[in-house]
Amino acid sequence: MANSGGSREPFPEPFRSISRSHVGRVRQVNEDRVLDRPDRALWAVADGMGGHRGGDIAADLAIAALRNLADAPIAITGAAILAALERANEDILARGEGVGGIIGSTIVVLHIAEGEAHIFWAGDSRAYRARAAGWHQVTRDHSLVQQLIDQGLIDREQAARHPQGHVITRALGVDSRVEVETMSFRVERGEVLLLCSDGLSRSFDPEIPAEFDSTDPCVADRILGDALERDGSDNISFVIVSPRR
């Protein structure tokens, strides 16, 4: 991670990004939110849960905590990201108590520092990485169907149509403390990174070639259009990050 300091650090990596968020073809409210801050090498996707009680508010609070971090005149560190997610968890819990029910949000965060990608997540919002050969999922869902897969009780084809496919096992705003999983890896030359909500991942084709200008608006529009055509039953949000060429 970047070293902490008293002034805003210069952006050390020449990365570009582009994002999209769409309500989908069925839902009336978009409960997804995206943070797209290439100036601070910080990106995130939050997928709110709670329906009329305020899933969109939960996602707003999750992204607001990270945006506040991006706006602060200090270096971004892993500890600072985790602290921001803890604050978001507390804020979402408090808001849920105010509306008389549980609201929550999944989250996936990417920070790049000194050539290292650092991922933080809770729930089934995902991170992928790709080179020319195609896309590879790097996060592991915190969900009931993933637990069933891990136990060998169902396969991935059965998971895709499981009646409890929407049940997640971790999220911001559900418990007094949230367990955020983390991972880090070196960003390779020519690599593309993708964060998304499950509205995209349930219809995302990992065989799509990554040999394209990933921050061309037409590419993002094509990915969104394909997801809407394949499914579109949920909100669809994603951010694509790649090094400048």
**pLDDT tens digits for the chain (245 residues)?**
444 444 344 444 478 899 999 999 998 899 999 999 999 999 999 999 976 678 999 999 999 999 999 999 999 999 999 999 999 999 999 998 887 778 999 999 999 999 999 999 999 999 999 876 678 899 999 987 777 776 677 776 666 666 666 788 999 999 998 899 999 999 988 889 999 999 998 887 666 656 555 667 888 898 899 899 988 889 999 999 987 65
d(CA 57, CA 54): 5
Q: Which residues contact 76 (CB under 8 A, 6 or more apart)?
A: 1, 2, 9, 40, 41, 42, 69, 70, 111, 113
- Residue 113 has φ and ψ, to the nearest 5°, of -145, 130
Q: Residue 76 corresponds to which amino acid?
A: I
d(CA 99, CA 235): 23
Q: In the block, which residue shows the tokens 């560190």?
A: 77
Q: Is the dihedral of CA 206, 148, 23, 71 positive or negative?
A: negative
Helix (H, G, I), strand (E, B) or coil at 140: coil
- Residue 95 has φ and ψ, to the nearest 5°, of -65, -40
Domains of the chain: 15-243 (3.60.40.10)
Give the model's pLDDT for residue 202. Answer: 83
List, in sequence order, every beta strand (DSSP E) within 40-174: 42-49, 104-113, 116-122, 126-131, 134-137
N-to-C CA span, the chain: 24
Buried b (16+ CB within 10 A) or exposed e, 74-108: ebbbeebbeebbebbbbbbbebbeeeeebbbbbbb
The pTM score is 0.88
C-alpha dihedral over 25, 194, 209, 140, to 10 degrees? -90
- Return the CA Rg of the chain: 17
Contact 53, 99 (CB under 8 A): yes
- Residue 184 has φ and ψ, to the nearest 5°, of -140, 150
